[in-house]
A and B are shown apart, each in its own frame.
Chain A
Amino acid sequence: MPDQLTDAVILGGNRIPFGKAGGAYADASNQAMLTSTLDGLVARFGLAGERVGEVAAGAVLKHARDFNLTREAVLGSALAATTPAYDLQQACGTGLETVIQVANKIRLGQVDSGVAGGVDSASDAPIAVGEGLRKALLGASRARTPLARAKALAAVRPGDLAPETPRNAEPRTGLSMGEHQALTAREWGITREAQDELAAASHHQLAAAWDSGFFDDLATGFLRLSRDEGLRPDTSVDKLAGLSPVFGKGEGATMTAGNSTPLSDGAALVLLGSPQWAAEHRLPALARFVDAEVAAVDYVSGDEGLLMAPAYAVPRLLARQGLTLDDIDRFEIHEAFASTVLATLAAWESEEFCTGRLGLDGPLGTVDRSRLNVHGSSLAAGHPFAATGGRIVATLAKMLHDLGPGSRGLISVCAAGGQGVVAILEGC
C-alpha cells in the first residue's frame, strides 16, 4: 500500500440517449443497454481487448437473473474477459456511489483504472409472483413425495396469482416518491411557477447542449435514439402551466408530469484512472475526483423530507474541504423533481434550517443559478435511476475541463430511502 494517496481522475464517459419508459428501449434489457454503453466507451478510448482495473455498475430495478449484471456486460463487451466487475446498488445514488467506490480504490492504489456507472429500465421491469404463490412453489420444490407436492400447491389461493410489480413507493411509508416530495414542496413553499421555470430551463439548456455538439464525445446512439427521448426543446413555462398536478392534493398541489422526472430507460458509464494510467493511455484528464459524502435522513417519522438528505450531505462535504458555495463554479443537482432542487436551495438559504438542522452559524448561502445544471438535468434528460450518476459525473467533468484547471463542481443526488450522495470534482 502506498504511503501517499494517488489522484483519481475522470477521463470521460459514455451514455446512451435516455428513453421514455415504454418508448424506444421498451424491449431492451438492462444487460443490453449496459453492454452497448460499455462498448461505446471502449471504442471512444481505444480500450478493446484491454483489462481495466474493474467495472462497477448497478441497476435499481433488477431481475433476479441479473445477479451478476455488470460482469455479464463486461463479458459481452470488447473489454478483456479478465476485467473484474461487480454490482452495487444505492437507489438513485447508485451511479455516483460506484464512481466514489472506483475513485477510492484508485486513490488507494488498489486499481489503476476503472469504469463506473449504472443502468435502469422502467420498461423491462421485473415482475415477481405474489408472496402466497412464492411460498407454495418453494414448499412444493422441497416436498419429497407427489402427495406432499400436491398438498403444498393446494395452498395457493386465487388472490395469490396476481403478480407483484415494483412500485415507486417507500416500503415504510407506502407513499410514492412524488407524494413524499409534495409534502416537502408544500413545507418549503415552492411555487408552481418556480418549478415550471426550472423545468423549462432544463429542457432548453439540454437541447442547446445537444445542438452544440457537447454530447458528441459523451453519448452514443442506441437503437433508434440519437437524443434523449423525453427532451422537449420547444416546451415553455406557459405550456407547462397547462398541466394538471399529479402529486399532492387540492389547491396547494404544484407537482405535474412536466416538473417531475419521467420514468426512463438508459445507461451511463464513466472512465476513471490514476494520472499515470491516463498518461500511459494518452488520455487527458478532464477532472479530479476530490471528495464525497453520503447523508441519510429520518423521513419515516416525518422528521425530514424523503429527498432532503443532500441538503445535509453538501454542507458536511464543503466543511470538510474548507469550501463555501461561492467556491463552486458548477452545480449539478439531480432534478428528481423541480421542487427537490428548489427545496434544497431554499434550505441552504434558510437561517432556521441551517442553524437548527445543520448546526451552522447562519445560512449556508445562495447557489448562483447561472451555475446550476447549465446543460440541463434529469427533468429533460430523463432519469433511469442508476444511470443518472454516470450521466452527471461525465457531463460535469467535461464542463470543468472546459472551464480550466482548478474549477470546481459539486454533484448532489437524492435517493430513495432518504439518502443523498454528493461529491466534488475539480477541473484538470
Chain B
Amino acid sequence: MADLMQLLTTNPLAKQLGVPQATRLRRGRELPSGPVAVGAVGGGTLALRTLELLGVPTRAALVDRPETRVTETTDDGRTREVPEAYPDSLGALVIDATGATSIADLEVVRGLLRPAMKGLERSGRVVVLGVEPETAGAPTAVATQQALEGIVRSVGKELRGGATANLVRVDLLTAEPTAPAELASTLLFLLHGRSAYVSGQVLHVGHGAGDPRVEEVLADRPFEGRVVVVTGAGRGIGAGIARTLARDGALVVAVDVPAGGQGLADVANSIGGTALQLDITAPDAGARIAAHVAQRFGDMGRIHAIVHNAGITRDRLLANTDEERWGSVLEVNLAAQIRINQVLLDAELPGGLDGGGRIVGVASTSGIAGNRGQANYAASKAGVIGLVRAMGADPRLAERGITVNAVAPGFIETEMTGRMPVATREVARRINSLQQGGRPVDVAETIGYLADPASSAVTGEVLRVCGQSQIGA
C-alpha cells in the first residue's frame, strides 16, 4: 500500500487528476541556485553584513509599491496591476526587519515579500530577521516585532514548491548584541538545503562565548576530529544522525541497547565509528560513555557533542496506562539523559563533555501538541523542551561555552512510520506546509547545525523539523 500511495503522489497522471504533488526538496550543503535578494526595514544592516561575511552574493530586493506595479493583460483580454517581477527565479529573500518598530514598517515587509511569493525557485527561502520582541522597547515596537511571527508563519503556509519561511530573532538592543559571525551559521543553515524540512519556525540567536571564525562557519566538515556520541544510533533517525555527522567529519560513538542487534554494528562499521552497547537507563551509563571515550581517544579525548536521540513509545490511552508503561517512557526519554548530562558535564571527568561542547536533545511535535494515547511520551518530550530551556539559560554552562538545544521532529519517514496504517500515515504526511514527510537526514542536518562549533550563539532553542506541521503549531 505504501508504494501505491507513493505512486499516486508522484505520478504525472495523478497530478493531472488533482492529487497534490510533493516537491523534491533541495537537501545538503547547497545554497539556492538563484540570487539571494536582501531588503531592510528601518535601516537594519545585520543581514547584509552576515551574508557578506559568508561570501554569498546578494541583490537588492524588489519592493511592491503602487508606483512599481506593471499592467498585465490576462488571456481573456482584461488588464490588472501586478507587482514587478524578478528577472530570474529568486533563490532566497532575506528581510532584515531588526529595525522595524512601527505598523508602517510592516507595510515595507509586505512590499518586500509580495514580489517573492511567486518569484521563488523550488526550495527557495524566505528568512526574516527580527529582534526579541520584549527587548524592542515601546509597546508599538514590541507589537511590530511580534507581528513578524504572524507574517512568517502565514508565508510558510502560502509558499509552494518546497520553499520555506523562517524568522530569526537576534539580540541587538541588549548589552551583548549578536555579531554577524554569530548569526552566520544559522543564516547559512536556513539558506542551505540542510534546512529542507524546517519551515514556519522562529528561532533565537543570541550572543555566545567568542565569535566563530568564518572558516569554521563555512567548513564542509565542521566536526573533523571531534567526538560525537549519538544514542539510539542503531536504526531510524538515530542511524541518520550518526551517518550525517560522520559525513561532516565526526568520530561517532554509536550507542544503542544491547538487544538492538546488528543495526548498531552496521551503522558503526559503515561510518568507521565505534559501537557502544549500553542501556542508557543504567545508573552507570554516563560513566561508561565517558570511559569509552577516554579509552578510545586518549586522556585528552573529550566529547564535542552528545545527541540524546534514544527514545521509546508505550502508547496507550491514559485510562489504561499503568506505572510501568508510564515510568519506562519517562525513564528512557527524559530521566536517562538528565543523569547522563550530569555525569558528562563534570569538567574533570576524562571523556566528559568538552568546553564549547554541545548537548542536543530530541523532542517531538507530540511533546508540543500532546497526542491521544501518548500522555507518557508527550510528557517525556515536553520535558526535554523544559530541560533544554533550563540548561540553555544556565550561566555556568554558558561560561564554558556549552550550548543545549533540541530538535522536535514531525512526521519523518522511517521504518517505524512505515508501519503506520495507510490512511493515518497519509494524513500525517500531508498535514504540513511542505505536503510531505521529512527524512531522517532532515532531522540529522538540523542536529548537525545545532551541534556545529560555529553555532555558539544558539542555546536553549527547540527547533521543529516538521515542514510546518499543523500539529502543535
Contacts and interface: CB of A to CB of B under 8 A. Distances in A.
A213 B279 contact: yes
Contacts of A43: 254, 264-266, 268-269, 273-275
B298 A221 contact: no
Interface string A201-224: 000000000000101110111110
A133 B262 CA distance: 42
Interface stretch (A44-52, A353-361, A413-421): A44-52
A284 interface: yes
Question: What is the size category of the interface that chain B forms with chain A?
Answer: 20 to 34
Contacts of A284: 295
A41 to B, nearest CB: 8
Contacts of A399: none
Nearest to A14: B265
B269 A213 contact: no
Contact of B269 (A39, A216, A217, A222): A39
A407 to B, nearest CB: 21
Interface in A22-77: 36, 39-40, 42-46, 48-49
A226 interface: yes
Contacts of A167: none
A144 interface: no
A223 B260 CA distance: 10
B258 A78 contact: no
Nearest to B277: A216
B296 A220 contact: no
Interface in B245-274: 254, 258-262, 264-266, 268-270, 272-274
Contacts of A45: 274
Nearest to A42: B269
Given A44-B275, A45-B274, A46-B274, A282 B296 contact: yes
A42 B265 CA distance: 8
Nearest to B271: A48
Interface in A174-218: 213, 215-217
B297 interface: yes
B295 A220 contact: no
A213 B262 contact: no
A220 B261 contact: yes
A216 B262 contact: no
A39 B266 contact: yes
A49 B271 CA distance: 10
Interface in B295-327: 295-298
A221 B266 CA distance: 12
Contacts of A36: 262, 265
Contacts of A217: 277
Among B258, B279, B282, which residue has the most Cβ atoms of chain A within 10 A? Answer: B258
Nearest to A225: B261
B243 to A, nearest CB: 13
Contacts of A223: 261
Contacts, number: 74
Question: What is the size category of the interface that chain A forms with chain B?
Answer: 20 to 34
B278 interface: yes
A217 B288 CA distance: 11
Given A42-B269, A43-B268, A282 B261 contact: no
Contacts of A219: 258
Contacts of A78: 269-270
Among B254, B274, B276, which residue has the most Cβ atoms of chain A within 10 A? Answer: B274
B269 A48 contact: yes
Nearest to A36: B262
A77 to B, nearest CB: 8
B259 A226 contact: yes
A266 to B, nearest CB: 14
A45 B276 CA distance: 9
A46 B296 contact: yes
Contacts of A222: 261-262
A150 B147 CA distance: 93
B268 A226 contact: no
A213 B298 contact: no
Contacts of B261: 220-223, 226
B94 to A, nearest CB: 42
Contacts of B262: 36, 39-40, 220-222
B265 A216 contact: no
B277 A282 contact: no
B259 A221 contact: yes
A321 B277 CA distance: 37
B298 A39 contact: no
B258 A213 contact: yes
Interface string A351-370: 00000000000000000000
Query: Nearest 8 CB-CB pairs, A to B?
Result: A221-B261, A226-B259, A78-B269, A43-B275, A43-B265, A43-B268, A46-B274, A48-B269
Given A40-B265, A43-B254, 5 more contacts: A39-B262, A44-B274, A46-B296, A221-B260, A223-B261
Interface of B: 254, 258-262, 264-266, 268-270, 272-279, 282, 295-298
17 contacts: A39-B262, A43-B265, A44-B265, A44-B276, A46-B296, A48-B269, A48-B273, A49-B272, A213-B258, A213-B282, A215-B258, A216-B277, A220-B262, A220-B277, A223-B261, A226-B258, A226-B260
